[in-house]
Amino acid sequence: MLRLLPGLATRLLQGLIVVFTAATLAFICLELAPGDQATALGEQVPLAVRERVRALRGLNDPLPVQYLRWMRDIVRGDFGWSVSQQRPALPVLLEASTNSLMLVAPAFVLSLGLGMLLGAWQAVHAGTWRDRWSGRLTLAVYSVPEFWLAFLLILFGHGQLGLPATGMVNDMHAYYGLLDRLQDRLAHLVLPVITVTLVGIGIFSRYQRSSLQDVLQQPFVRTALAGGLATPRVRWLAWRAALLPVLTVAGLVLPAFVAGVVVIEQVFLWPGLGHTMLMAIAARDADVVTGCVIIGSSITVLGALLTDMLRVLVDPRLATGVSRIEPTER
Amino acid sequence: MTPRALLSRASAALLSALALACAAPSDEAGNSTTGGTLVVVAPAEPRSLLPAIGEASQAAPILASLYERLADIGPTLETAGDAGFTPRLATRWQWSSDSLSLAFTLDSTARWHDGHRVSAHDVRFTFRVYTSDSVATDQGSLVSNIDSVAVVDSSTAVFWFKRRSPQQFYDATYHMYIMPAHRLDSIPLGRLAESPLARDPVGTGRFRFARWDAQQRIEIVADTTHPKGRPYLDRVIFSIAPDFGAATIKLFAGEADLLENIKPENLAQVARTPTLRVVDNPAMQYRFLGFNLRDPRNPTQPHPLFGDVRVRRALSMAVDRERVVRNAYDSLGLVALAPAPRALIPDTTAFTGLPFDLARARALLDSAGWTDSDNDGVRDRNGVKLAFDILAPNSSPAAQRLTVLLQAQFKAVGANATPQLLEINSLSERVDERRFDTYTGGWLSSPGLVGMRQTWTSTGDGNAVRYRNPVFDAAVDSALTTFDRAASRRHWAQAFQQILDDAPAIWLAEPRVFMALHRRFIVPPTRPDGWYTNLAEWRVDPAQRIDRDRIGLGGAAR
């Protein structure tokens, strides 16, 4: 791992540039988009009032002036002011990130774990009816629009099982006792987590199946089996060798999960990062939008970094620069 | 347990029982008439709960419950004079002999929710906020006839007016919720939005603020010590659901009790749901298709098509509004008569609109020189086609249906209309910058039609089509300033006839608005100025209570 440190510093610097570029692009795109914070107040607010809002908030300043002002604040750690929520943007972003993590963390772990298990099972049974039908099923679930999947689950989960349909907690949550509050919070997680998990399983199982199937066809597997190694042991070793593609895709999917489950958040009224960003875009709430982009791109960078580190852990040859086993002659 | 402790406990128990008995009046069956929880699905989160800053529609029900005005407008929404108004924070008022000043005497029992007494300083401070250039409030222009507010003593505030008008009392009371000076006057007005009270408000209303879980819910609870009596309900929770689909899930799943502005396609489902009922929610709104009267590329010039009144009148007569409204709104809309909902028009028989008459429409376009010279189905004149865009918001299915129907109807007289569905901010920007040929718009009217100046007169900044007619302006001005009620009706009739003749827009529809409400609520008739106006009078049928109605006013974990 120590060998990674110089590379790590470079990667972090590159990550910083990526985050900065993404945030700048978000700022510019939002400025170039039709309308601004004052427009978003709506037609019912008189034009003169909207003009005054523009003057008070410096929205009439040239774009470079606004950009430099925004950049100065970001460097100072000031994420600005949310005009749509009339409070500092930082708590808005922190709350949204926490909410997203509450939904995404269990869903990510579940979908990765279950997806890998399912994919491995499919690879072992490759070509059989079990592989074909489970593959079709996961593909079908993956292909279904997320909102439709969410509605189906609500129909079943709420209609048949009485699970809460929307929100992070019941509106009466504050009046519950401690245990009831915990139960309420967990019950509200069930349907959204299952929705995200089902989508994730479709991704991870396919990668796991494909990579494990490739490895299982490698000569070393046949050799190990012919040499008398127990099948479970051989499969375990093959599974470890097939982890790299899954870990790589997991690192890329994680940020998509955190900031990209907008539709699911909308249907379940879950005020996570994606939902917050969508609302902020509609309200032309520049500070929140750029803040969401900074968080989203930071997670992407960190996800990629984490993946690289995990890949090295799984396959130490990657740290030495040896990317594949070279045939050696005896 | 010592005798002293025992006595203390017994006293506490007795006091609690007494308090409960006082706070919860009982009906004949012995059931408490107070109590209950109303969960309202709110389509958006308010920006702020400070009046003057947060007075958008999403904050309106909460502000109306937390704060009070000096006096409230009556159910007839009569804005002239003070006869229809009922005292709120003010117990009485006195006009000066020249009617240019009005002294309000404040209710000596009125208290802010933090216990401070309401004083005339609060009134003066409120006026300062509403008229400050540092606070961009949309009510500012509506109180422009008030010159100043003076404090005579702690319970008397005097409003000084610039000129006499029938709406003086309405101006002084309707537009401003009184704000607590003792909590806000140390904050620069430009930074008022950052005040802690913006998210933890202190008012004088019959409900007090309880909690705000960002992007999730806002809760208000009954003020049991309010001098005008506690509201029947224990609490109202505004549960925030920006996505309409999710809002309906919440309603039909029984997680919410009220959904405002239910869509026509959901009405049948509400009717099929045994726990819900549909409540008429009279709203003072109307929709129109506005013609840009000036050239978008050169505003000094008239619009090449719509600068000619004959074209506007012809297109107005080409539209079968009965059919359009029926197709767009089914039975949930009425044909608009004029730029005002019929409930606010003093006399709907005193003017006549343009009829649906295709033959006259075609003849009018012929006489204006618009003919189909190349037989392509679209009229033209001097090489210019009778072709234009209709801007509409992509978020409104009703507006989209309207544009498609209008397109078909215009085609029948040789006009080529192209609907352009835009994201709401893009549409607003195009309308603000007057970069459009036509657009589908709508206004919520104010009581007494006082908003007509802002929306359709030549000085009104909401007049996006740039309609200018001094006769209309004068008629509106006269209607709003005369003290003679009969004369006011005549002036309104003249104003409506003039604008209908000039046809700067096609007045399309007055959508009827409905809300879905849980059947256990017993509610007074809803008023056009807001379903929440009498929220303190809403109650739950004791026989139909559900779990969340039985929680009581006990403390919640924060």
* B411 residue type, one letter: K
Reported as a pLDDT band with limits 50, 70 and 90, residue B276 is very high
- Per-residue pLDDT of B386-443, as tens digits, reads 999 999 998 888 888 889 999 999 999 999 999 999 888 788 888 888 999 999 999 9
- Please state whether beta strands B86-87 and B387-393 pair in parallel, antiparallel, or not at all (unpaired): unpaired
- Is the pLDDT confidence value at A324 over 70? no
Test the A interface: residue of B288, B425, B440, B446 with most A CBs within 10 Å? B425
Which listed CATH number (3.20.20.150, 3.90.76.10, 3.40.190.290, 3.40.640.10) goes with B68-194?
3.90.76.10
- Please state whether beta strands B146-153 and B207-213 pair in parallel, antiparallel, or not at all (unpaired): unpaired
Give the architecture (CATH level 2) of B1-23+33-66+205-257+520-558: 3-Layer(aba) Sandwich (3.40)
The answer to whether A172 contacts chain B (CB < 8 Å) is yes
Would you tell me which residues 92-151 of chain A have a C-beta closer than 8 angstroms to some C-beta of chain B? Answer: 92, 95-96, 147
Tell me what the mean pLDDT of segment A195-207 comes to: 91
Q: With contacts defined as CB-CB under 8 Å, which chain A residues touch B443?
A: 44
Contact A175 B461 (CB under 8 A): no
Q: CB–CB of B4/B224 below 8 Å?
A: no
- Is the pLDDT confidence value at B61 over 90? yes
The domain limits of chain A are 4-321
- Per-residue pLDDT of A222-256, as tens digits, reads 888 888 889 889 988 898 888 888 888 888 888 77
DSSP assignment of B200-235 equals S----SSEEEEEEETTTEEEEEE-TT-TT---SSSE
The domain limits of chain B are 1-23+33-66+205-257+520-558, 68-194, 285-511
- Per-residue pLDDT of B427-486, as tens digits, reads 888 888 899 999 999 998 888 888 898 899 998 888 999 999 999 999 999 999 999 989
Contact A49 B57 (CB under 8 A): no
Q: With contacts defined as CB-CB under 8 Å, which chain B residues touch A268?
A: 246
The answer to whether A58 contacts chain B (CB < 8 Å) is no
Residue of B15 and A7 predicted with greater confidence: A7
**Min distance B459 CA to chain A CA atoms (Å):** 12
Rounded CA-CA distance A93/A293 in Å is 10
pTM value is 0.84
Q: According to the model, what pLDDT value does residue B475 have? A: 97
Closest by Cα among B356, B361, B434 to B391: B434
Q: What is the mean pLDDT of chain B?
A: 89
Q: With contacts defined as CB-CB under 8 Å, which chain A residues touch B246?
A: 166, 266-269
Tell me what the mean pLDDT of segment B207-232 comes to: 94
Contact B133 A52 (CB under 8 A): yes
Q: How far is CA B107 from CA B113, B130, B207, in A?
A: 15, 22, 18
Q: Which two tokens stand for residue B245?
A: 């689909």
Minimal-distance CA residue of chain B relative to A49: B136
- Per-residue pLDDT of B294-338, as tens digits, reads 999 998 999 999 999 999 999 999 999 999 998 888 878 899 999
- Please state whether beta strands B384-385 and B380-381 pair in parallel, antiparallel, or not at all (unpaired): antiparallel
- Per-residue pLDDT of B183-198, as tens digits, reads 999 998 888 888 999 9
- Per-residue pLDDT of A264-296, as tens digits, reads 998 899 999 988 988 888 888 888 998 998 998
- Is the pLDDT confidence value at B211 over 50? yes
Rounded CA-CA distance B55/B46 in Å is 8
Q: With contacts defined as CB-CB under 8 Å, which chain A residues touch B198?
A: 86-87
Least confident segment among A1-5, A91-95, B78-82, B387-391: A1-5
Give the architecture (CATH level 2) of A4-321: Orthogonal Bundle (1.10)
Closest by Cα among A303, A300, A274 to A289: A274
Contact A279 B242 (CB under 8 A): yes
Reported as a pLDDT band with limits 50, 70 and 90, residue B28 is very low
Reported as a pLDDT band with limits 50, 70 and 90, residue B54 is low
Q: According to the model, what pLDDT value does residue B526 have? A: 86
Q: According to the model, what pLDDT value does residue B498 have? A: 97
Contact A165 B250 (CB under 8 A): yes
Rounded CA-CA distance B500/B520 in Å is 45
B285-511 maps to which CATH number?
3.10.105.10
Enumerate residues 6+ apart whose C-beta is below 8 A from B219: A171, A174, B210, B211, B212, B235, B236, B237, B238
| Three-class secondary structure of residue B517 per DSSP | strand
Q: How far is CA B353 from CA B319, B325, B337, in A?
A: 12, 16, 7
- Is the pLDDT confidence value at B11 over 70? no
Rounded CA-CA distance B558/B552 in Å is 16
Closest by Cα among B451, B461, B199, B190 to B339: B451
Task: Give the number of C-alpha atoms closer than 13 A to the C-alpha of residue A176, restricted to the C-beta side.
Answer: 14
Enumerate residues 6+ apart whose C-beta is below 8 A from B295: B301, B302, B303, B304, B307
**Min distance A155 CA to chain B CA atoms (Å):** 10
Rounded CA-CA distance B133/B478 in Å is 29
